[in-house]
Amino acid sequence: MDQSYAADVCMEPMFWFVDNFTYAIGPLFVVAVIGLTSSVVFIAYWIGLPYWWQRNPYLCVILVIIGHWLLLNISFHYYKAVITPPGYPPQGELITEAVSICKKCIAPKPPRTHHCSVCNRCILKMDHHCPWLNNCVGYKNHRYFFMYMVYMVLGVIFVIVCGFDIAYSAIMLAGDDPDEPELEGHPVKFNKTGALIPVTDVLYIDTPVVDDDFNENYEPNNPWKKRAIIYMALINSGVLVALGVLSIWHSRLIGKGETSIEANINKTETQRLAEIGRIYINPYNFGNKKNWRIFLGLVKGRNLYQHVLLPSAHEPVGDGLTWHTIHDEDADEWP
């Protein structure tokens, strides 16, 4: 009865809940992602599009093109991440480079393969089980998962930048008390008693002139539009922080040629070998540039423009069962 065993016993109910209910409620998370994304797109069409069209039609066309490019990539990569199996070891076939036997599957485990307790099977190059995808992130769909996060972060930044003026006008410049009488259309001044006196015979040269058609179409004081803008601000801010941090973290892992699970393993091995005066080297770390090329599948003539900036369903490098390492003789030439 040591501290580690006691901690495992205390955490067992949580592990049981995760294993048994995460997969069951996964579809609800997928529906939530689709619903939240659709609501943001709807509000952008409802409020943002008329605003920018009235402001500058030519700029509006450019923003629509950029927005739809981001939306296309977000939708494509999320869809592929959800429906693409992460990759499983073949059943009943000889695995030439098995590194161990899975105690739960009672089957050989290829390198970089780990058992997912939620899916209840081994996953090739497993990174983690994502409830928002209702799927494991592994060898075949890791790129889709990462690209979805990157494009979602870019999309959120795009919406925040384009909607900043709208949000500022609707939230910051809006009156706090709806029952307070407004002196619309009349400049005012203070007399010695502090009272407001309308001034009708003074014309201010720097008073902005707003088009009546613009006010009629935009309706910045519409209470439903104001609520929608606040909703957009909260959703986009939360997604930007959450997925922004996650994207940065995964970018660092990709640059080092490791997954989330391997990051913990490599950290433990580094500490263990350091105690005996040795240095641990990740066998799958070919350097930042090469690691990114392998992860994005930019081999065999594939390029950044067609296979990263545009939706692409190309297969990852290799077969997920055997992996090149820095110790291979042709490591410098591969891939």
Residue 75: what residue type?
A: S
- H/E element, 251: helix 223-255
Reply yes or no on whether 10 is catalytic.
no
Q: Which two tokens stand for residue 53?
A: 């069209």
Question: Distance between terminal CA atoms of the chain?
Answer: 50
CA distance 126 to 138: 4
CA distance 109 to 122: 8
Cα-Cα-Cα-Cα torsion 284, 286, 290, 293, nearest 10 degrees, comes to 0
Q: Which two tokens stand for residue 134?
A: 């209702």
Tally the C-alpha atoms within 13 A of residue 322's C-alpha that lie toward its C-beta: 6
| Peptide bond connecting 335 to the previous residue in cis, omega within 30 degrees of 0 | yes
Catalytic residue among 60, 116, 119, 130: 130
Q: How many residues does the chain have?
A: 335
- The conformation of residue 168, written as its DSSP 8-state character, comes to I
In this structure, are residues 138 and 19 in contact, taking their beta carbons and an 8 Å threshold?
Answer: no
- Biggest CA–CA distance in the chain, Å, is 95
Radius of gyration of the chain (CA): 28
Catalytically active residues are 130
